[in-house]
Amino acid sequence: MSDAIVTVDNCTKTYSRGAERVEVLKGVSLQILRGEFVALIGPSGSGKTTLLNLIAGLDQPTTGRVIVAERDISRMDESQLARWRTTAIGFVFQFYHLIPVLTAYENVELPLLLLNMTAKRRREQVLTVLHLVGLQHRLTHRPGQLSGGEQQRVGIARALVTDPALVVADEPTGDLDGRKKEEILDLLENLQRGLNKTILMVTHDHVAAARAHRLTRISDGLLLEERADTKEEALALAFPDAKIRGND
């Protein structure tokens, strides 16, 4: 059995805008191994979010296959994908996207409502993940009563609560600054280390990218094959401006 948790096999994605056809992904192939922390980087409009959507089962490739946790999701219908996502994928959003009328506890509990689970088991699971992200004292707070960093922690707890095979994070620190950004990155890193979670993170930010084990760069719908022996070299290639600042 392969140790790859994600296999993207020669995927293309084309959108139609009236008569115009826009090819966003032009034959992308990618493998992510179990327990890896991969950062997907690239400029705006390069196709990274589209690739993330394909891997998370939010969209279908025009051609090619996407296999996640040993299941070919590229031909599943919408209902099958929704069922599959509940347990296979944990999604962390840039803008948290918590349900504003629900408490932190209820937000985290939401995906579990779709699973056949006793109330007691559900409670245990929710409390465990909220403890894991350090929000055990904020159970009854609504998103509006939490800071940005805390909201993102709730978002991460919600992504983890079903114990998914893959955590997908789309710019998870994009709406945070300074210390809060570091805290979220620390948390993701600890989760990856402590729970051996596979994390795929899309980011523009070199600080966030630096925390990943592996960088994958996408440009104009193609994954770039770069000869970098170390992560530092890859970072330098991906964020030349950051390198310049680092040398100052």
Partner 1 sequence: MLFKFAILVVKSLGRNKVRTGLTSLGVMVLVAIFSVVTNVTSVVKSKVNAQGEQTRLIVSERWTMPSRVPLRYIPEIAGQDGVADWTTMNFLMGFLDESRRRDRQAIAIATRPDNLREMHEGARGIDDDSYDAFLTRKDAALVGPGLLKTMNYQVGDSFTLLAARFPPIDIEFTIVGVLPPGEMSNGFFCRHDYYMEATDDRDAVNCILVEIEGAERAKELAAGLTLDYENRQPSLKVETESAGVARFAARSQAVLQIIDGVVAILLIDMIIILSNSISISVRERRVEMAVLKVLGFQPLHITLMIIAEAMLVGGVAGLLGTGMVCGLSQLTIHEVIPVMAWNKFLLQFPVPWSAAIWGMLIGAGVGLTGSVIPASSAKSVKVSDVFSRIA
Site for partner 1, rule CB under 8 A: 49-50, 53, 56, 58-59, 78-79, 82-83, 85-87, 91, 93-95, 97, 99-102, 106, 109-111, 113-114, 158, 170
Least distance between partner 1 and beta carbon 51 (Å): 11
Shortest distance in whole angstroms from residue 89 CB to partner 1: 8
Question: Whole-number minimum distance, CB 58 to partner 1, in Å?
Answer: 5
Q: Which 8-state DSSP code applies to residue 123?
A: H
Check if the beta carbon of residue 31 is closer than 8 Å to that of residue 7. yes
Least distance CB 23 / partner 1 (angstroms): 16
Q: Of 9 and 175, which CB lies nearer to partner 1 in the complex structure? A: 175
How many residues does this entry show for the chain?
248
Task: Between 44 and 230, name the residue whose CB sits nearer to partner 1.
Answer: 44
Residues 6+ apart with CB under 8 A from 134: 153, 187
Q: Please, which residue, 138 or 234, has the CB nearer to partner 1?
A: 138
Q: What minimum distance in Å lies between the beta carbon of 128 and partner 1? A: 18
The tokens for 34 are 């179990």
Coil, helix or strand at residue 158: helix
**Which residues 6+ apart lie within 8 Å of 122 measured at CB?**
109, 112, 113
Closer residue to partner 1 (CB): 149 or 164: 164
**CA 98, CA 206: separation in Å to the nearest integer?**
26
Residue 76 CB, shortest distance to partner 1, in Å, is 13
Query: In the complex, what is the shortest distance from the CB of residue 190 to partner 1, in angstroms, rounded to a whole number?
Result: 23
Pick between residue 74 and residue 234 the one whose CB is nearest to partner 1: 74
Whether 181 and 153 have beta carbons less than 8 Å apart is answered as no
Residue type at position 144: G
Beta-carbon neighbour count of residue 158 at 10 Å? 28
Using alpha carbons, select from 173, 161, 225, 244 the residue that is nearest to residue 28.
Answer: 225
Angle at the Cα of 85 from the Cα atoms of 61 and 204, rounded to 5 degrees = 65
Q: Quick one: 46 or 235, whose CB is closer to partner 1?
A: 46
- Residue closer to partner 1 by CB (options 7, 87) is 87
Rounded CA-CA distance 65/223 in Å is 16
171 Ramachandran zone, left/alpha/beta (phi>0; psi -120 to 50): left
